[in-house]
Structure 1
Amino acid sequence: MNYISQKITIAIVLSGLVGCSSVNEQDSRPYVGVGLVQSELQPRVIGGEADYEGRSQGAEVTVGVPLGKRVSLEATLADLGEVDFGQDRSLAYHSADVGLAVEVPLTKSLSVYGKAALGYLDTEAKGLAANDLYSLHRSVSAGVQASGDNWAARVGYSSWDEDAKGLTVSLLHRIGKNTRSQANAGVAMQPQYEPTVQQAQPVEMLPNAPSYLYFAPLSGALSIDENRQLLSWASSAKGSHVEITGFADSTTDGERAAMYADLRAQTVASALRSRFSNLTVSVKPSQVVPAGEPWSAQQLINRRVEIRWTN
């Protein structure tokens, strides 16, 4: 099989991808993008013809699906453009590949990335002593990525075997809403998640001892929104001592439900202790809610946590 070799000295790819997350956080959202490719190519001898030089412009479309915290599966369709040699002679280049992209974080917003892929290269010759050529090819990319919460910018170097090489610059975004949860309740100490003013859900109002409901996930970890709500409420509350109680529904396995109730209460207590050093926090034994209670049939009953100010 004959190969057409190209040398790309400049390749600029501008992509509008819907979604990319901060490099230090796991994000399962897929991304898709389109890009512009501007290339300077220098094909070698083709069917006895002399060497030619030319420039081309093209476009690409990329779809990516995260497979893990740092690894994504990416598929790319690219039109590398057409090199016009004059006198109705030209070469057009198209490629399609699928591979794995990996990110390695350096700082909160900076990482290095690499991609290895296998694909198909279509070389279309017009007016030259050569037929259309098709070949399997390997593509490799590496560079630096700067990331925000929903975007990323890449600068790197790409190579398609010996057929194409060049510099790439990309803009990325992810599809959909970010549903990541933090690994633990310690997110309350991270300054980027400042509490916002949100109304807590009251259960009853007693003299000098208001009681509140708070819901924590079954995993024992608080999400970003739950931390915001909890800290906003605690910042405006009065008193220096808090009692926290987890509740379980009697219609479920009592021992298992009580274990999860204790875990949720401890999670909320840890978040409060981490943020408010002058607050005395105590966790009371979990309680089982009788099935006859009006609200015992609610789906969130096994996530109920009561926070009570005692002074």
Structure 2
Amino acid sequence: MPSRPMPLCVAPMMDWTDRNCRYFHRQISQHTLLYTEMLTTGAVLHGDRERLLGYEAAEHPVAIQLGGSEPEALAESARIAESWGYAEVNLNVGCPSDRVQSGRFGACLMAEPELVARLVGAMRAAVKIPVTVKSRIAIDEMEEWSTLERFVRLVAAEGCTRFIVHARKAWLQGLSPKENRDVPPLRYDLVHRLKQELPHLDISINGGIKTLDAAAEHLAHVDGVMIGRAVYENPYLLADADRRFFGGQEAPRERHEVVEAMLPYIERSRQRGAPLSAVTRHMLGLFQGLPGARAWRRHLSENAHKPGAGPEVVVAALAKVRREPEAVVAA
């Protein structure tokens, strides 16, 4: 089954895009595609699946990102993900961390496009949902354009139709994962060129995109945009996404309404045994730039970790933020 074009999605981010984060983001945008954190095949096959794979139906559309390099393990992990109702399986070919490299997956697989093609083929044979790939443009000393083009052509030959490209080279030696998100120069032009030369493929761009205006500019050249840290740090950036990119007609929720929509979920999470801070840590940036934002963050940071803390802590934090009519700023 081919993937349908997805104009906007939120990047998979380790330690950030867990089920609590995704549910929160879904209260701001109903249609933006959300991703899990990367899950290794070992975790999916042998770990606590309810903890790792569980989510609420309201999070849809939600995709799972897998990390691995063994066809059979990835195929079985994809089957499990499909049985849990995920809308897409994405293969991580972009993470540059030492831990990921030692497992022979992530960005180091850019050097083995034939293997990635086999991995994609195995997953596609196992499931009916779309199988997609997230990659870099190249790694280490590899020439950027020839590496990217060859990689995509080989993997596309196995039926992958959607590629999400982080428009930076990854340096596997000499740069930390954090530095790999900032230091290598962005080459948006190469991702735009990829779409020009392979117009039948669904190409999304990722890396350094911080506003919806910037996303709209990229959408003149590619099919989709993936935004990561900018959304996490300023989640209300998503507020106008449905109207701008998905044909939405309803006015976005105001920030106070987003918080109020989270309160029942916070209570359900507490009943599952999750501390309040597991949810509210993702909500700290909601009022960024508004009067009371600092008081909001401080109250949550100082009180959400306390034993027994529940929705009342969030209500008290919300009372510290001045309620004013909000205009959705082009972000």
Shared fold (TM-score greater than 0.5)?
no
Name which one, 1 or 2, has greater alpha-carbon Rg: 1
- Give the shorter-chain TM-score range: under 0.3
TM-score, normalised to structure 2's length? 0.27
Greater fraction of residues in helix: 2
TM-score, normalised to structure 1's length? 0.28
